[in-house]
Structure 1
Amino acid sequence: MEYAGTWLPLMGLFTFILLIGLTIFVLVMLYQMNQSLKRIAESLEKK
């Protein structure tokens, strides 16, 4: 049971960091999509 005591906090921390990274990645992707959609809308309006 010694391993479980040392591994569980590390696994929890790793999962936490992974979730934060994933959330940031999704937010950045959504932001970039929004920016490109705005550019497409602007180019369509110019025509």
Structure 2
Amino acid sequence: MGLFSRKKEIMVGNICPKCNMEFSEPQRTLRHIEKAHKSKKKFECNSCG
């Protein structure tokens, strides 16, 4: 049914695969990927760019 399904766990090391930054813990790497490498912006202003 999927009521109690968990998110897929992504296995990453201490280095970001997109920009090669190094972090002390894999959790920090995941947080960095979520914030720094988002593929979609929440809002884009037409007059500001």
Question: Normalising by structure 1, what TM-score?
Answer: 0.31
In our comparison, the structure showing a higher alpha carbon Rg is 1
Structure number with higher helix proportion: 1
Question: Normalising by structure 2, what TM-score?
Answer: 0.31
